[in-house]
Amino acid sequence: MSLTEFNQWSQGEGPSVEEDEETVSVCSRRPEDADTVLEPSQSGTTCDKTSNVMEHYTTTTMSHALGGVTLSVLYLDYTSNMDRSRLQRQQQQQHQEKEKQLTEPAPVKFLNSQPSVLVGRTDVVSVTPWLAPTIWEGTFSPTLMDSLYNQQNITIATTVFALGKYTHFLKDFLESAEQHYFVGFRVHYYLFTDQPEMVPEVKLGDQHRLTVREVPSLDRWQDISMGRMGILEKLIKSELTDEINYVFCLDVDTKFYGRWGVETLGRLVAVRHPWFYDHPRYRFAYERNAESQAFISFDEGDYYYTSSAFGGFLDEVHELTKTCREQQSIDAANSIETIWQDESHLNKYFFSNKPSKLLSPEYL
């Protein structure tokens, strides 16, 4: 068979091999016919069925072997393309995984000791009768708390009032806060003062900023204390709702000596007063005038809270300041001034609206 005929045959265009007389071999003789001499006229006519089958098998095998050359080449090319495509897909997947590792933050790992009843503070009560936690040093993991809140992208507003001679506390307040107060988190200080020129220049952290608001001067510190609830109420309602998650209200004479971090955050947060934390409630400095809106009897009360620091969610603190301002106005209309001004009304509010978290006197 010529090369041209073979190519035609491999493409199904030429004659079948069985029909090509030149490729048909002479039938093999059976063993018992070995001595028989065939005449030329008998060639190809005396083969039995078995010999015909063998002849067909021989020719077919030859044709398949010849055709298999082309098929093998096609198959090898096909498998080579498959391997090349598979390799390209693997390389693309590896590239995508590397890009994902570069763009996505690494998974957060919370490294802290396993909780144990055998380790921790046993000298203090760390939970209230209404199951609110009281935060003492040694009752929480600072590393774990920071890791949890770092994922939440929070901002804390902090309000402080510095009027008259109280402006000289500003430097200590701001400098110590920058060392200990919500370090590593976004903080926006709102400073209310009647002397903006007296605000010291203190370098703030990358995520901390200061806004100064001028307010009218007041003669008595009691008036400052009484008036700040209304200012805080307006500030929260008009400015803080879009960017702030929590708000704390602090006294300007606060100086930080240790950590004040995210462990202090909660829905409604109160701080136990350091002067009264171990006293019986009949000795608390509650308002005892029954005519006042802040009145609490001697046989009532949970803890005595300071007005030097309180905070929580915006809506919770807004409701607190609104209620205290309204109760103060009612007392003022009746010519009543409570024994400790806004602190008396704050304690009455916390008595009726239990805080969700308490801070120990260690924070003051």
Which residues are the active-site residues? 343
Structure tokens at 127: 């939970």
- 228/221 Cα distance (integer angstroms): 11
The angle, 0 to 180 degrees and rounded to 10, between the axes of the packed helices 3-10 and 49-103 is 70
Number of C-beta neighbours around residue 360 at 10 A: 19
Structure tokens at 83: 């391997």
CB 198 within 8 A of CB 169: no
Beta-carbon contacts of residue 110 (< 8 Å; ≥ 6 apart):
144, 147, 148
Q: Which of 287, 256, 249 is nearest to 271 (CA)?
A: 249
Going from the C-alpha of 233 to that of each of 198, 320, 325, 326, the distances in angstroms are 25, 8, 8, 11
DSSP class of 300: -
- 165/132 Cα distance (integer angstroms): 38
- 184/340 Cα distance (integer angstroms): 35
